[in-house]
């Protein structure tokens, strides 16, 4: 006997799917708009499609009109039918134009594109239980990841996260030695170095192209005299005596987080702090079936789990590991005290001593 279909539930579910598919189809048009400067140009003042095409550098106005109507249908720009002009609200500009806004999301669209590009590689991993080496997922996953996390780091590391660590901000202002492990392209390292000029910072990452990019950023920001970047996996770092070790959104990506925790304890100075920033998550999977958990579980399926399974041990914690599991791993590494120092809508900050 065929199942009985509840028409109300079916229509509600199809409505949800239309919204989801519309969001997915917006990814390429948003990326084009970002690259061509269309959002930036529209932020100056309202414009017709023809005016916007000229303002953005002489683009083809028929393409620009279709693009602008797509963004209006997305709800990403405003459209006034009476004047046939488009505009960007202050709130929309926070997402698409203001690069230091905490909700600037250009990197998120790049990350989605990188996930789609790596689809075939990850699908093969499902069949064989293998992984995908970091940097091999897509053309520039590490660039997209850096851009995705940058707004959160710009608005939280110095303002909220480090001040939540007991006594650490004063030590940094006085001069401390800091390791930023899993630093990627160096955004987090350089933000700390700019805020605490008396301290010395070393960024470590096992991905050589990321370190090359980080070194370029250090030169561009005039910080190469106080900030160095080295290619090294977490367990291979030979230098020690660090007053602060930071890990931003990377412990769950490691193949051997327990081995990493043990080594962090070895290289930390007496009285030092290990700060671990991880995606916000409840300890039970059911706690994470929400919009934020949805983003993290999907990204974790395509990026975090394959990255970890490519490494030794292959713990594959995933981006929704939860505080209890992470704290247990940190304590097994020899840390007597682990506490949640602070949290935000997307991250939690764990302090280990």
Structural domain that includes position 271: 156-288+304-352
- pLDDT for 19 equals 96
Is residue 298 domain-resident? no
Report pLDDT digits (tens) over 32-69.
999 999 999 999 999 999 999 999 999 999 999 999 99
- pLDDT for 13 equals 97
- CATH code for the domain in which residue 341 is found: 3.40.50.150
Q: Which of 96, 122, 147 is the last residue of a domain?
A: 96
Residues 89 and 207 in one domain: no
Report pLDDT digits (tens) over 258-280.
999 999 999 999 999 999 999 99
Question: Which letter, b or e, does each residue of 32-52 get, where b requires 16 or more Cβ atoms within 10 Å of its Cβ?
Answer: ebbebebbbbbbeebbbbebb
Residues 37 and 174 in one domain: no
Note whether 299 and 111 are within 8 A (CB): yes
Q: Which of 74, 96, 118 is the last residue of a domain?
A: 96
- pLDDT for 150 equals 92
Residues 28 and 167 in one domain: no
Residues 77 and 165 in one domain: no
Residues 80 and 162 in one domain: no
Is residue 166 domain-resident? yes
The SS3 call for residue 47 is strand
Residues 182 and 92 in one domain: no
- pLDDT for 164 equals 98
- CATH code for the domain in which residue 36 is found: 1.10.10.10
- pLDDT for 100 equals 93
Is residue 90 domain-resident? yes
Is residue 309 domain-resident? yes
Is residue 89 domain-resident? yes
Residues 342 and 269 in one domain: yes
Res 146 pLDDT > 90:
no
Alpha-carbon distances, residue 263 vs 46, 204, 239, 258, 330 (angstroms):
56, 14, 11, 9, 11
Residues 61 and 170 in one domain: no
Is residue 141 domain-resident? no
Q: Which of 96, 112, 127 is the last residue of a domain?
A: 96
Average pLDDT over residues 164-179: 97
Q: Is the pTM of this model over 0.85?
A: yes
Confidence band of 140 (pLDDT split at 50, 70, 90): confident
Report pLDDT digits (tens) over 189-205.
999 999 999 999 999 99
Look over the chain and give the mean of its residue pLDDT values, rounded to a whole number. 96
Residues 173 and 313 in one domain: yes
- pLDDT for 138 equals 79
Alpha-carbon distances, residue 170 vs 167, 173, 243, 342 (angstroms):
6, 5, 12, 18
Report pLDDT digits (tens) over 112-139.
999 999 999 999 999 999 999 988 887 7
Is residue 151 domain-resident? no
Confidence band of 86 (pLDDT split at 50, 70, 90): very high
Residues 84 and 161 in one domain: no
Number of domains in the chain: 2
Residues 326 and 206 in one domain: yes
């Amino acid at each position: 006997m065929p199942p009985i279909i509840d028409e109300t539930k079916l229509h509600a579910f199809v409505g949800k799917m239309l919204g989801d598919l519309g969001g997915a189809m917006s990814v390429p048009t948003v990326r084009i708009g970002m690259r061509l400067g269309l959002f930036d140009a529209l932020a100056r003042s309202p414009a017709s499609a023809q005016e916007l095409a000229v303002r953005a550098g002489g683009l083809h106005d028929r393409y620009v009109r279709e693009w602008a109507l797509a963004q209006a249908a997305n709800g990403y720009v405003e459209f006034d039918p009476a004047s046939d002009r488009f505009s960007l609200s202050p709130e929309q500009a926070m997402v698409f134009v203001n690069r230091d806004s905490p909700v600037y999301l250009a990197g998120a669209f790049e990350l989605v594109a990188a996930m789609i590009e790596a689809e075939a590689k990850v699908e093969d991993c499902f069949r064989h239980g293998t992984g995908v080496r970091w940097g091999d997922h897509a053309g520039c996953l590490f660039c997209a990841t850096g851009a995705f996390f940058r707004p959160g780091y710009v608005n939280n590391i110095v303002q909220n996260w480090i001040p939540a660590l007991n006594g650490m901000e004063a030590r940094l202002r006085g001069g401390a030695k800091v390791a930023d492990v899993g630093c990627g392209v160096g955004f987090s390292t350089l933000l700390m170095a700019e805020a605490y000029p008396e301290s010395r910072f070393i960024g470590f990452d096992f991905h050589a192209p990321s370190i090359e990019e980080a070194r370029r950023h250090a030169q561009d920001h005039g910080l190469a005299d106080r900030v160095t970047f080295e290619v090294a996996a977490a367990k291979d770092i030979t230098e020690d005596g660090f007053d602060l070790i930071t890990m931003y959104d990377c412990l769950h990506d490691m193949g051997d987080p327990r081995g990493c925790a043990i080594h962090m304890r070895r290289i930390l100075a007496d009285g030092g702090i290990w700060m671990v920033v991880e995606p916000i998550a409840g300890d039970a999977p059911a706690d994470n079936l929400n919009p934020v958990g949805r983003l993290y579980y999907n990204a974790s399926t395509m990026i975090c789990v394959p990255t970890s399974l490519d490494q030794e041990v292959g713990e594959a914690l995933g981006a929704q590991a939860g505080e209890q599991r992470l704290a247990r791993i940190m304590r097994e590494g020899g840390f007597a005290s682990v506490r949640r120092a602070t949290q935000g809508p997307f991250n939690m900050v764990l302090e280990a001593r």
